[in-house]
Amino acid sequence: MSEYVGDLNSAQLELSGSALRRPFDPTAHDLEITFRLTRFADLKGRGCKVPQEVLNRLVSSLQQDFSTQDESGFMQMSIPRIGIGLDCSVTPLRHGGLCLVQTTDFFYPIVDDPYMMGKIACANVLSDLYAMGVTECDNMLMLLAVSTKMTEKERDVVIPLIMRGFKDTALEAGTTVTGGQSVVNPWCTIGGVASTICQPNEYIVPDNAVVGDVLVLTKPLGTQVAVNAHQWLDQPERWNRIKLVVSEEDVRKAYHRAMDSMARLNRTAARLMHKYNAHGSTDVTGFGLLGHAQTLASHQKKEVSFVIHNLPVIAKMAAVAKACGNMFQLLQGHSAETSGGLLICLPREQAAAYCKDIEKQEGYQAWIIGIVEKGNRTARIIDKPRVIEVPAKD
């Protein structure tokens, strides 16, 4: 592996085109074989958010000061479940009918591969724009905190890889990283800001669901389960809890599928929302499929509710989740996802075409997971939802 050492291109080598990436090898970068990026924070990925009910109380004293528009952005981004369902803030500008559509997000390492972590962080921030049907990002800023616990060597290897991954995904999205802020902090932190200036017709306000629409999901669930199961390979006592339902190989495949999925842009999904007249969309992240479905439902103009029948899940992760009791609540729709898919309301007659089109363009499946019926703006998952096992891409 000597051709690797200390060389940024090693990250590129490790990235074998797309799906199945060569596993990150710390020793290939002169790091201890035991190096784990995810150990530089006690909370993982979107599990780092201030609990919704807490933030709700913290900001309640401010709410009366926010106009609905202000509130929308502020609420949704800090506490998505009570937001008005916009994944971005939308600000009318002083110039010719334009709007600033903007979002920010940052969190802690969720995978051990620094380059992939950078890509995931970038895709995750951009996903908020894509959920609004915005396909062009005009500018990105990178937010980075180097862990005080990293050795100089670890820092010098890991941080450039994270930056490179973030930047590569930004380029893939047709945008650039023009700034940022970097600090030192006990926990390694990575995130960004995505901004677009656009005409009102470039974004889709997610409040037009009508009875008869169907719900489409563009990425499988189970990223949180997969990254945890993968970490348990190092932890016998945890591993013993799940080894009866899953093999090491299954877990490694699921982990790579999860990384690939989290690093994938929802940009094509957003583009096709326009082509197939989507009635609204949100992206599935920290509050799980049901949490975000409820947010979306609660802000529809018409009296509708969402009913979810199917749960596409990364292969074997439903079994792992079950084996862990109530830990993940994956089948209840509460398992946090990072850089998850778009949950989209589409006219019934368009949904199949949407799914076919995205698969044709990207080689990734999308699934019809539920329906929109008359109701009181809530969302639920049926009693025994059908679990669709989504195999690793290889």
State in angstroms the smallest separation of the CB of 150 from a second copy. 11
Both tokens of 216, joined, read 């489409």
Do the beta carbons of residue 286 and residue 336 sit within 8 Å? yes
In the bound state with a second copy, the residue whose beta carbon lies nearer, of 3 and 152, is: 152
User: What is d(CA 202, CA 129) in angstroms, rounded to the nearest whole number?
Assistant: 11
Whole-angstrom Cα distance, residue 263 to residue 338?
10
**Interacting residues with a second copy between 156 and 175 (CB under 8 A):** 156, 159-160, 163-164, 167
| Identity of the residue, 195 or 268, whose beta carbon is nearer to a second copy in the bound complex | 195
- Main-chain dihedrals φ then ψ at residue 279, nearest 5 degrees: -95, 0
Sole window of 94-102, 290-298, 307-315, 374-382 interacting with a second copy (rule: CB under 8 A) = 94-102
* Number of amino acids touching a second copy (CB under 8 A): 76
Closest CA relative to residue 227, chosen from 8, 36, 391, 374: 36
If binding is defined by CB under 8 A, does position 106 make contact with a second copy?
yes
The one among 5, 184, 211, 382 contacting a second copy by CB under 8 A? 184
d(CA 382, CA 76): 26
Footprint on residues 190-209 left by a second copy (CB under 8 A): 191, 193, 195, 197-199
Maximum distance among all alpha carbons in the chain? 63
| Under rule CB under 8 A, residue 5 binds a second copy | no
User: Virtual CA dihedral for 30, 32, 38, 39, nearest 10 degrees?
Assistant: -140
Q: How far is the CB of 327 from a second copy (least distance, A)?
A: 19
Q: Assess 48 for contact with a second copy (CB under 8 A).
A: yes
**Least Cβ distance, residue 171 to a second copy (angstroms):** 8
Structure tokens at 110: 């969720």
- Beta carbon of residue 291, minimum distance to a second copy (angstroms, whole number): 16
Bridge partners, residue 91, by sequence? 100
Q: Which residues contact 13 (CB under 8 A, 6 or more apart)?
A: 4, 22
- CA–centroid distance for 62 within its chain: 28
Binding-site member from 40, 107, 306, 328 for a second copy (CB under 8 A): 107
How far is C-alpha 121 from the geometric centre of its chain's CA atoms? 8
Nearest alpha-carbon partner for 206 in 299, 291, 129, 293: 299
Pick the stretch among 20-28, 155-163, 314-322, 356-364 that binds a second copy (CB under 8 A): 155-163
d(CA 142, CA 27): 27
Show contacts with a second copy in window 213-232 (CB under 8 A).
none
Provide the terminal-to-terminal Cα distance of the chain, rounded to the nearest Å.
24
Catalytic residue status for 324: no
Applying CB under 8 A, which of residues 1, 5, 8, 211 lies at the interface with a second copy? 8
Residues 51-80 that bind a second copy (CB under 8 A): 54-55, 57-59, 61-62, 65-67, 69-70, 72-74, 76-79
Task: Figure out which of the listed residues 10, 38, 102, 231 binds a second copy, where binding follows CB under 8 A.
Answer: 102
**Residues of this chain, 326-365, that bind a second copy according to CB under 8 A:** none
CB nearer to a second copy: give 44 or 316. Answer: 44
Q: Encoding tokens for residue 124?
A: 């995750």
Nearer to a second copy, 13 or 352 (CB): 13
Shortest reach from residue 388's CB to a second copy, in Å: 32
Catalytic residue among 48, 88, 188, 355: 48
Q: How far is the CB of 137 from a second copy (least distance, A)?
A: 10
Alpha helices in 79-221, H assignment, sequence order: 114-131, 152-172
Among 56, 104, 310, 365, binds a second copy (CB under 8 A): 104
Residue 129 makes CB contacts below 8 A (sequence gap 6+) with 87, 88, 101, 103, 135, 137, 194, 196, 270
Catalytic positions: 48
